[in-house]
Amino acid sequence: MSKKINVLQFICPTGFYGAERWILALAKHLDVNTVNCELAVTMEPEQKELEIVKEYKKLGLVSHTVAMKNKFDLSAINKLVELIKKNQIDIIHTHGYKSDIIGVLAAKKAGIKCIVTPHGFENAKDIKLRTFIWLGCQAMKFGHYVVPLSQQLLSDCKRMGVKSAKTIYIQNGVDLSEVEQTPIPERQAPAEKRIGFVGQMISRKNIFDLLDVFDSLHAKHSNTRLVLLGDGDARQELEKYASTLKSNSHIEFLGFRDDRLELLKSFDLFAMTSTLEGIPRCLMEAAAANIPVAAYDIPGIDQIIQHNDTGLLAELGDKERLEAHWQTILFNPAEATRLAANAKEYVYEHYSANRMATEYTALFKTCVGHN
């Protein structure tokens, strides 16, 4: 019997969002007799214990912390090398621009394999962030394998110069059992129509459009509410903008919530206005929770939502058409039920975490030369 493959999932977390939850889903479904899957996270001064670490420990798996003096502390590379050698890690698996830069360099110094999984690319305007993203994309080229979550991300990686021989497509998967086990909550105002969003509040999520569409809808249908779950760099600016809207009293910014899935199940509509995505985990969870979806038609989202079949799509930036789709879902129960049922069936058929874990195990075996 071959020895277990020691894999280190490495991430520099910004919260508890899609990438963090994706790591948990993969780790939970890997065969423990074949793969020992550990976690390493960076920790900056005054940063509180990370939610992903708490959840990883609940799985009975080992986690490590790599201390950083600041956001760009390059001493983290040598600390990660020490951790790799001490724990006899065979493969480091990185997630995100910063973790790709640090992880690829640490893997090279430690003499182990590195797998990079892009979860999405940011179309940031800030020059410092754009430079950092560029560095992350350059680092990605030096991974042994680059494994994007969607066909669009696969094309993006090749366009950025990643060699085809290094790219492998493993379709995204999500642990849907958590969604199934979450009860449907009682609503304090059952007649009120609730539009919901879950995700990071960053530029590519384009939440300003979400607020605009809701404000227009609310002017026609006062018994509506917009609920936004998540946090991020743009939250303060978004809250300031929302305060100027006539519908402000019916817009809630709830931040990060432990009862995220329960709140998700309270929505009548799940809405997205992103300009750039991988394959959004929140979208898969909404479908699994039987919540109908309306969104902009962009790569990644179109992998799950087919217009008029598993949801409703509007051309990017067409707020008027998107609002019309919202009204269809909110005020045509039969149509909303049909779309939600189709989406749930599609997600369960195509986005199993078990299937994803099996394919990653095969890749891990290839990396270390196991048959």
* 127: pLDDT strictly greater than 90: no
d(C-alpha 148, C-alpha 171), whole Å = 8
Q: Which of 111-125, 165-179, 251-265, 321-335 has the weakest average pLDDT? A: 111-125
206 and 143 both lie in a single domain: no
Task: Give the 3-state secondary structure of residue 7.
Answer: strand
129 and 31 both lie in a single domain: yes
19 in a structural domain: yes
Beta-bridge partners for 252 = 227
Question: Residues near 113 by Cβ (< 8 Å), separated by ≥ 6?
Answer: 90, 91, 92, 107, 144, 145, 367, 368
Instruction: Tell me what pLDDT residue 90 has.
Output: 98
Instruction: Tell me what pLDDT residue 40 has.
Output: 98
d(C-alpha 258, C-alpha 218), whole Å = 28
* 35: pLDDT strictly greater than 70: yes
Residue type, 201: M
Instruction: Tell me what pLDDT residue 352 has.
Output: 84
125 and 144 both lie in a single domain: yes
371 in a structural domain: no
Instruction: Tell me what pLDDT residue 61 has.
Output: 96
* 133: pLDDT strictly greater than 90: no
Determine the average pLDDT of the residues in 304-320.
98
Task: Give the 3-state secondary structure of residue 212.
Answer: helix
Residue 37 belongs to what domain range? 5-173+352-366
pTM > 0.85: no
Asked whether 63 and 57 are in contact (CB, 8 A), the reply is yes
* 371: pLDDT strictly greater than 70: no
Could you tell me which of 64, 100, 99 has the C-alpha nearest to residue 82?
64
269 and 327 both lie in a single domain: yes
158 and 208 both lie in a single domain: no
Task: Give the 3-state secondary structure of residue 137.
Answer: helix
25 and 130 both lie in a single domain: yes
Task: Give the 3-state secondary structure of residue 168.
Answer: coil
Could you tell me which of 338, 232, 230, 246 has the C-alpha nearest to residue 282?
230
d(C-alpha 220, C-alpha 297), whole Å = 25
31 in a structural domain: yes
Percent of the chain with pLDDT strictly greater than 70: 97
Domain CATH code at residue 315: 3.40.50.2000
160 and 285 both lie in a single domain: no
Residue type, 30: L
pLDDT tier for residue 122 given thresholds of 50, 70 and 90: low
297 in a structural domain: yes
Residue whose structure tokens are 């962030």: 129
Cα 105 to its chain centre, rounded Å, is 24
d(C-alpha 327, C-alpha 18), whole Å = 28
125 and 229 both lie in a single domain: no
Instruction: Tell me what pLDDT residue 138 has.
Output: 84
Instruction: Tell me what pLDDT residue 160 has.
Output: 86
Residue type, 300: G
161 and 55 both lie in a single domain: yes
Helix or strand (DSSP H, E) at 218: helix 207-220
Per residue in 66-83, pLDDT (tens digit) is 999 988 888 999 999 999
DSSP state of 298: -
Q: Which of 97-106, 120-129, 155-164 has the weakest average pLDDT? A: 120-129
* 27: pLDDT strictly greater than 90: yes
Structurally, how many domains does the chain consist of?
2
85 in a structural domain: yes
What token pair was written down for 73? Answer: 């502390």
d(C-alpha 52, C-alpha 108), whole Å = 26
199 and 335 both lie in a single domain: yes
Arithmetic mean of pLDDT over the chain = 92
Instruction: Tell me what pLDDT residue 72 has.
Output: 82
Per residue in 210-254, pLDDT (tens digit) is 999 999 999 999 999 999 999 999 999 999 999 999 999 999 999
What token pair was written down for 308? Answer: 């008029």
Could you tell me which of 202, 342, 350, 365 has the C-alpha nearest to residue 279?
350
275: exposed, middle or buried (Cβ count in 10 Å: 0-12, 13-18, 19+): middle
Instruction: Tell me what pLDDT residue 126 has.
Output: 67
131 in a structural domain: yes
Helix axis angle for 319-331 and 207-220, nearest 10°, is 60
168 and 228 both lie in a single domain: no
Q: Identify which has the larger pLDDT, 174 or 25.
A: 25
* End-to-end C-alpha distance for the chain, whole angstroms: 11
Question: Residues near 131 by Cβ (< 8 Å), separated by ≥ 6?
Answer: none
* 129: pLDDT strictly greater than 70: no
φ/ψ of residue 225, rounded to 5: -145, 140
31 and 141 both lie in a single domain: yes
Instruction: Tell me what pLDDT residue 143 has.
Output: 93
Alpha-carbon Rg for the chain, nearest whole angstrom, is 21
Sign of CA dihedral 210, 213, 217, 218: positive
